[in-house]
Amino acid sequence: MLATLKPKALFIGYGHLAKSLISKKLLSLLNIYALNSKSELKDINLKKKIFKNNYTYDYVFLLTRPKTFLSTGTQFQKYLSKDTIVISCMAGIKFSTIEQILKTKKIIKIMPNVMASNNKSQTHLYLKNKKLMSNNLIKLLSSFGKIINVRNEDQINLATSVYGSGPAFIAYIVSSFVKASKKLAKPFNINELEVLELFKNVLEINTTSKMLDSFISSISSKKGTTQAGVNYIKSQKIEKIIYTTLHKAYKRAKEIDSEQKSAKTK
């Protein structure tokens, strides 16, 4: 698409998540500008600084931390025209709060994750006004990976826990397994890549939780090595620990919005 015909998007905040959303595909669909904490504006397609903001944007992506938006978000009103669609990627911030702070109703909430950089984000999407969705918007959000539509705003908080923060929890669990294997294997060297491949292989042949459960039973012969380990894991209530981990992230997502409001009224 000709650069002059492409819609313009402003990324307010250009940190970890924002950078992971940028791909060749997205750059082919949009002219992207990014704003940082010093109000410096950068043309991402042309990789250069812009000294004057002459644009009205078709899309404004909210990519600052929630706290930043709640404390200084009103200053972002100036980047919006009556047609601008606001796409919030922020954890916890409610629709109604964005409406209030930015004085617009053209809002879409999405919860992508940093795997968008590999087109692997399972992006959850919530909107009140279905008319805001266009083929163009579907195309550009699909550049992050899969889109999963949800009907209830609270489902975005759940997605924040499982899909937004979840990759870090999974990385922690896998990394712990690798470290423990290495520790056990000392003084022999264990090939880290082989251990990581083991995770991929287990998931490749077991594609449902039911399959994983029967996979465990099929390896756990009575009084065998697997049973010794599995019995220990079960006794440590791993499932409860993981539930609590996810619940803490979910609860935190729900707290963020109200926490700031109460701080303002103090």
Ligand X SMILES: NC(=O)c1ccc[n+]([C@@H]2O[C@H](COP(=O)([O-])OP(=O)(O)OC[C@H]3O[C@@H](n4cnc5c(N)ncnc54)[C@H](OP(=O)(O)O)[C@@H]3O)[C@@H](O)[C@H]2O)c1
Residues that bind ligand X (CB under 6 A): 12-18, 35-38, 63-66, 68, 72, 89-91, 111-114, 164
Nearest residue to ligand X, scored by beta-carbon proximity? 15
State whether residue 209 is helix, strand or coil: helix
Phi, psi of 93 (to 5 degrees): -75, 125
- Residue 162 corresponds to which tokens in the numbers above? 């499982």
DSSP bridge partners of 123 = 147
What's at 147, amino acid-wise?
A: I
The residue (of 37 and 221) whose beta carbon lies closer to ligand X is 37
Handedness of CA 96, 53, 65, 91 (dihedral sign): positive
Which amino acid, 39? S
Question: Shortest approach of ligand X to residue 123 CB, angstroms?
Answer: 9
Rounded least distance, CB 117 to ligand X, Å: 11
- C-beta closer to ligand X: residue 117 or 181: 117
Backbone angles phi, psi at 48, to 5 degrees: -145, 155
Is 155 in contact with 124 (CB distance < 8 Å)? yes
Q: How far is the CB of 36 from ligand X (least distance, A)?
A: 3
- The Cα 72–Cα 190 span in angstroms is 50
Give 29 or 61: the residue with its C-beta nearer to ligand X: 61
Cβ distance to ligand X smaller for residue 88 or 104: 88
Q: 43 Cβ partners below 8 Å, 6+ apart?
A: 31, 32, 33, 49, 50
Q: Which is nearer to ligand X, 93 or 178 (CB)?
A: 93
Which one, 66 or 145, has the nearer CB to ligand X?
66
Q: How far is the CB of 126 from ligand X (least distance, A)?
A: 14
Minimal distance, residue 205 CB to ligand X, in Å: 29
Comparing CA positions, the residue from 69, 97, 102, 67 lying closest to residue 86 is 102
Least Å distance, CB 48 to ligand X, is 17
Rounded to the nearest whole angstrom, what is the least distance from the CB of residue 90 to ligand X in the complex?
Answer: 3
b/e per residue, 80-89, with b = 16+ CB within 10 A? beeebbbbbb
Whichever of 33 and 106 has its CB closer to ligand X, that residue is 33
Q: What is the pairing mode between strands 59-62 and 85-88?
A: parallel
